[in-house]
Amino acid sequence: MSTAPKVILVTGSGSGIGKAIVERLAGEGNTVLLTDLPHVIDSLDTAHLQSGVKVHPLDVGDEHSRTEVINTIAREHGKLDVLVNCAGVGRDARLTNIKDEDLAFTLGINLFGAFSLIRQALPLMQESTGGAIVNIASRAWLGIFGSGAYSASKGGLIGATRSLALEVGHLGITVNCIAPGYIATPLSATLPQEVLDKTLRSIPVQRGGVPEDIAAAVRYLALDGSYVTGQVLTVCGGRSIGDPTSR
């Protein structure tokens, strides 16, 4: 990819990990579309956003909304260099308790919505000389007790990432996945204290991750990793390789 400023779309970026990704990429002179659900967009303090950040509502689970944001990018910028699929939901329960509508909702946002947005964005990405797609999955793809729907959606996203990398590599477009472990966000802060303490003890580097850790990984895959494609980068402080508390 060239070193010229990029046009970048980040979904689910009104807060948490997505917002950190926007701030990191916009801070390097790129034009970054911060997108999220309308009520999240309405609550943002846009006066303090960085230069280069453009705000647009996007419901990843709605085809019309996806089409609208792609058309807006085409009309206003004429190209799309980087797509970061960060939007995600975690409506989950054990197998015997989860409702079909919750399973469909989780898969619809985390897997189908991301896959469909890639398909809709691809013609516009071909206007650039090379490009990058970065999907935000989760360490949950390895399996979490009582989280079958979420784990399935993120595992499916990883499978799609690997297959799509084979399809679009000849276009100069890379497709990679980041699988975060525990990241300190407002949502994770709602965990019971004993669960949080146990989680932190199980991380080899002995700290929880922060959104900026994921943003740094996205920055590499989006802007520098032109010879990296079809890969899963697990950003978890080593938790995926073992539990230091077992020694």
Parent domain of 61: 7-183+210-235
State mean pLDDT over 207-218: 96
For the chain, what is the domain count? 1
**20 part of a folded domain:** yes
Cα 10 from Cα 87, distance rounded (Å): 8
Q: What is the pLDDT of residues 153-199, one digit of tens each?
A: 999 999 999 999 999 999 999 999 999 999 988 767 777 888 888 88
- Of the candidates 180, 186, 182, 190, the one whose C-alpha atom is nearest the C-alpha of residue 233 is 180
Split at pLDDT 50, 70, 90, the class of 145 is: low
Cα 236 from Cα 6, distance rounded (Å): 28
Tell me the CA end-to-end span of the chain in Å, nearest whole number: 45
**191 part of a folded domain:** no
The confidence score (pLDDT) of residue 130 equals: 85
**204 part of a folded domain:** no
Contact between 18 and 43 under an 8 Å Cβ cutoff? The reply is: no
Q: What percent of the chain has pLDDT over 90?
A: 67
Cα 10 from Cα 82, distance rounded (Å): 8
pLDDT at 95 over 90: no
Q: What is the pLDDT of residues 101-142, one digit of tens each?
A: 888 888 999 999 999 999 999 999 998 878 999 999 988 667
**76 part of a folded domain:** yes
Query: Catalytic annotation on 150?
Result: yes
Q: Which of 150, 182, 220, 227 is catalytic?
A: 150
pTM of the shown model: 0.91
CATH of the domain at 46: 3.40.50.720
**1 part of a folded domain:** no
